[in-house]
């Protein structure tokens, strides 16, 4: 009986370690570990180079290297000089909520990559999601998910 518990414990520990390793490889980490940047930028560019100002015009477009700037340890690209200047004048207005990580993941205490093509502007704020499925979950209950996100995000800062 003791031997069975020991073997079971070893197997469970191995599975937990395997799950943690897999999540790190996918870029998913507990916020409490503090391993993520303030703004998600997998490719070195925020939102994989999409112009954050363009989301607020209803149609995100890729930015151009000619119109880029460094801010918050990340590279931000814009489609035009006008968008670059708009961002410079008021960057906090355009920054994706929760650093551009998946909003739903943040609500559960994890930092997971968001997909820049799965987004929503709500109450003049940009939210990024990992998939359409989690975006739809957010749409069904934005208040409680946002409250959960704010709670864990504020604890991390």
- Cβ atoms of 39 and 74 within 8 Å: the answer is yes
- At 16 the pLDDT is 44
- At 152 the pLDDT is 85
**CA 102 to chain CA mean position, Å:** 4
Q: 104 is written with which tokens? A: 């739903």
pTM: 0.78
Query: Mind listing the pLDDT tens digit for each residue in 52-71?
Result: 999 999 999 999 999 999 99
- At 18 the pLDDT is 43
Residues of 82-113 as b/e, b for ≥16 C-beta within 10 angstroms?
ebbebbeeeeeebbbbbbbbbbbbbbebbbbb
- Cβ atoms of 53 and 78 within 8 Å: the answer is yes
pLDDT lower than 70: segments of the chain:
1-40, 156-157
Contacts of 1 (CB under 8 A, 6+ apart): none
């Amino acid at each position: 009986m003791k031997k069975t518990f020991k073997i079971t414990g070893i197997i469970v520990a191995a599975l937990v370690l395997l799950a943690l390793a897999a999540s790190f490889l996918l870029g998913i980490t507990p916020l409490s570990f503090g391993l993520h940047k303030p703004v998600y930028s997998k490719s070195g560019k925020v939102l994989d180079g999409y112009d954050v100002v363009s989301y607020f015009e209803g149609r995100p477009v890729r930015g151009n290297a000619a119109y880029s700037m460094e801010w918050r340890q990340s590279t931000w690209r814009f489609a035009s000089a006008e968008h670059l200047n708009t961002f410079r004048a008021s960057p906090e207005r355009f920054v994706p909520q929760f650093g551009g990580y998946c909003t739903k993941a943040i609500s559960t205490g994890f930092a997971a990559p968001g997909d820049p093509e799965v987004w929503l502007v709500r109450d003049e704020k940009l939210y990024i999601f990992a998939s359409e499925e989690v975006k739809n979950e957010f749409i069904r209950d934005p208040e409680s998910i946002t409250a959960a996100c704010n709670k864990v995000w504020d604890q991390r800062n």
